[in-house]
């Protein structure tokens, strides 16, 4: 520890915070986009919508069967060629690493959120649906006003747990040369020969954020647990 340079951490703090900001922004954006798409996929499967249900099943199976880093590479290299073919452009249409990260993460997480939400939909008592039919509520109102609020509340701890994993996975954008928290630390570490200081700082930051988020999961799980009456 005598050679540990705390000053290197202090000097790098603004750049590391910028990287952390990008990581958090990517996490929040992917959570929001993934949750919306995940709800749509879960409803398509739960309601057994013709054509959409098997497509949703295939999409979820595909995304859950391959590594996220492979999806990143597929999107980054193949989508420009697909856009070239679709638009008739003379050369591949670049999407860019940032758009690749935001779109890919949302698409990937949607598959996991969809399965979590579908499990919640299957756990709702049939009496809830029958009561809505007795009140002559449409399918849209039944799910929007009655079913989905209950489902999202009951599965919120699992959704947050998956989002913690999502935050950890944001470090994979380093392969696209995006300056996230890990990318910022790596660049400074190589420039200033402060590998130990930078990587320990990043590890501690990930640990702190994930521990706090895990405590939030525990709180939600305790709050949503059914009361036990003597």
Whether 160 contacts 210, CB under 8 Å:
no
Give burial (CB, 10 Å; 0-12/13-18/19+) of 29: middle
Domain boundaries, the chain: 6-224
The token pair at 40 is 């749509």
Q: Is 66 helix (H, G, I), strand (E, B) or coil?
A: coil
The token pair at 177 is 């040369």
In the block, which residue shows the tokens 């993934």? 34
pTM: 0.88
pLDDT at 63 over 90: yes
* Helix axes of 195-224 and 148-169: crossing angle, nearest 10 degrees: 170
Q: Is 180 helix (H, G, I), strand (E, B) or coil?
A: coil
Using one digit for the tens of pLDDT, what is the confidence trace for 82-139? 888 888 888 888 888 999 999 999 999 999 999 999 999 998 888 888 888 888 888 8
Whether 19 contacts 179, CB under 8 Å:
yes
What are the φ/ψ torsions at residue 29 (nearest 5 degrees)?
-65, -45
Measured in whole angstroms, how far is the alpha carbon of residue 138 from the centre of its chain? 31
- What per-residue confidence (pLDDT) applies to 8? 77
pLDDT band, very low/low/confident/very high, at 226 (cuts 50, 70, 90): low
Share of the chain above pLDDT 90, in %: 49
Name the residue among 156, 183, 150, 161 with its Cα closest to residue 15: 183
Angle at 27 (CA atoms; ends 23, 30), nearest 5 degrees: 135
pLDDT at 157 over 70: yes
The domain covering 6-224 belongs, at the CATH homologous superfamily level, to MetI-like (1.10.3720.10)
Using one digit for the tens of pLDDT, what is the confidence trace for 159-190? 999 999 999 999 999 888 888 888 888 888 88
pLDDT at 230 over 70: no
């Amino acid at each position: 520890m005598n050679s540990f340079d705390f000053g290197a951490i202090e000097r790098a703090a603004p750049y590391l915070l910028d990287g952390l900001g990008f990581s958090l922004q990517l996490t929040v954006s992917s959570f929001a986009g993934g949750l919306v798409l995940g709800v749509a996929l879960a409803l398509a499967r739960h309601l057994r919508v013709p054509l959409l249900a098997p497509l949703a099943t295939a999409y979820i199976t595909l995304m859950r069967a391959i590594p996220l880093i492979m999806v990143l590479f597929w999107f980054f290299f193949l989508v420009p060629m697909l856009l070239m073919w679709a638009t008739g452009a003379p050369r591949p249409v670049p999407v860019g690493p940032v758009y690749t990260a935001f779109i890919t993460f949302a698409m990937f997480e949607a598959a996991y959120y969809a399965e979590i939400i579908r499990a919640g939909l299957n756990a709702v008592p049939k009496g809830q649906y029958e009561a809505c039919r007795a009140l002559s509520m449409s399918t849209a109102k039944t799910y929007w006003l009655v079913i989905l609020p209950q489902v999202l509340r009951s599965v919120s701890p699992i959704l947050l747990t998956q989002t913690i994993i999502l935050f950890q996975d944001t470090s994979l954008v380093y392969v696209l040369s995006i300056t996230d928290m890990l990318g910022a630390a790596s660049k400074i570490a190589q420039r200033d020969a402060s590998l130990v200081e930078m990587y320990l700082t990043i590890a501690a930051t990930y640990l702190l954020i994930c521990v706090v988020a895990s405590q939030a999961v525990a709180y939600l799980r305790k709050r949503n647990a059914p009361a036990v009456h003597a």
